[in-house]
Amino acid sequence: MNSHFLALLLTALLIATNGCSKVARTVDRPNILLAISDDQSVFHTSRAGARFVNTPAFDRIAREGIYFTNCYAGSPGCAPSRSALVTGRHHWQNEQAGQHASAWLKK
């Protein structure tokens, strides 16, 4: 037999047997929930000790997941920080969308 034909036959056999596996393969993917609120201070949750608001759903997510106590934002304003988070760019690179009380440009 021709060596090229034999190599092709062996490759086809390996692909066919690998694709017919009965074992289910799972891919480990992170389960990430990103919650964004507007004009919320660090102390505006019952988890953080606020007595004027009750946030049981947020408290449960923070308790069962990871609760960051020290984070940095790209800007002190909420709209510019959101624009940086959504685009992956600095807020000053997002033109009008990187300013407080602005809108996204239609392009």
Which residues have a catalytic role annotated?
A: 78
Whole-angstrom distance, CA of residue 105 vs CA of residue 96? 7
CA 17 to chain centre: 36
